[in-house]
Amino acid sequence: MLKKIIRKFSPNPLDQIIKKAQKNRDKRFLLFWNRGLGDIALGLYAMVQKIKESIPDSEITFLIRKDLAQGFSFLEGVKVIRAPDWKRGERYCGQAEIKRLGLDRKKYDIVIEWPDPTYWVKWQLGNVVPKLYWKKEFERPLDEMGLEKKQKYIACQPLCETNYGLWRNLPPASWKLLFSRLAEKKEGVILLGKEPTPKFEGDNIIDLRGKTDLYTLLSLLQKKIKCLIVPDSGILSMTYYLYRSFPIKVISLWADPNHGVLKQNIFSPNPELIHIPLVEEKKDLSALDINKILCHL
């Protein structure tokens, strides 16, 4: 509570950084980012926009975890440097990392080691529509995935795959029930994510967890998926804010609506995207009735 009160009456840190940069005619920014994929759209987009609007000739570089590189390629007007051995969520000393990675500190006027977009660009909620720009070179062939050429599938992400907030996940037993009901309806299911756990079995299930990079995943969603069923996750944010028109229904599962795209409170830049959020109270997704999902398919 005290922290919230202090923040309410304190100057916005990003505004202070920009004000100082303008005064000193600084324009070369280096920002560390070692958090989630979804935050690229949910927070960093607005930060970049704010810096670019305030300092039009600014040069923005992100030092990132290597597995975020494809995600950052959707963010226009920035450069990235990969830290090959970073682990998600760990803090790193700016000066030490710059030296360890062989970077030239003199190339950057301002180094921001731990940006906080949740606080720094809170003003964006309900106002800014993030746009993740799709490029032709991102498209990937899907021929070797064993998919039926004329069939459209339902894609599911069983785990949000974050290092906090296990209450975000629908329990495995609920997924199993959903998959069996979809089998009864002759619906093909594709599983998405990084790790092939927990294990699910069924003749209607194609498990692509850990077998697709981000470009392939988003190519798949555009070409072969009619509905995405997903918790609050990086996949949800990347899909929701992808700046390209293609038809898809997204059923998102929530134990707390004060996060992610629901907190953002803004429409998708994809005019053909239909979003159906299902929210359960008291951070308990185990209470979600699977019929609530099935009635929207």
Domain ranges in the chain are 9-124, 150-294
Amino acid 9: pLDDT: 62
Q: Which range, of 120-129, 227-236, 275-284, averages the lowest pLDDT?
A: 275-284
List, in sequence order, the alpha helices (H) in the chain: 2-9, 13-24, 39, 45-54, 69-72, 94-100, 117-120, 172-184, 214-224, 234-240, 260-264, 290-294
Q: Mean pLDDT throughout 18-43? A: 97
The percentage of the chain sitting over the pLDDT mark of 70, rounded to a whole number, equals: 97
Q: 279: phi > 0 → left, psi -120 to 50 → alpha, else beta; which?
A: beta
Q: Tell me the whole-structure pTM to 2 decimals.
A: 0.94
Yes or no: say if 238 and 221 are a contact pair by the CB < 8 Å rule: no
Q: Is 136 exposed, middle or buried (0-12, 13-18, 19+ CB in 10 A)?
A: exposed
The pLDDT tens digits of the residues spanning 245-279 come to 999 999 999 999 999 999 999 999 999 999 999 99
Amino acid 46: pLDDT: 98
Q: Would you say the CATH fold of 150-294 matches that of 9-124?
A: yes
* CATH superfamily of the 150-294 domain: Glycogen Phosphorylase B; (3.40.50.2000)
List, in sequence order, the alpha helices (H) in 25-168: 39, 45-54, 69-72, 94-100, 117-120
Amino acid 283: pLDDT: 85
Amino acid 196: pLDDT: 93
Distance CA 33, CA 191 (A): 28
Q: Which CATH number fits domain 9-124: 3.30.70, 1.20.1510, 3.40.50, 3.30.2020?
A: 3.40.50
pLDDT interval class at 166 (50, 70, 90): confident
The pLDDT tens digits of the residues spanning 185-244 come to 999 999 999 999 999 999 999 999 999 999 999 999 999 999 999 999 999 999 999 999
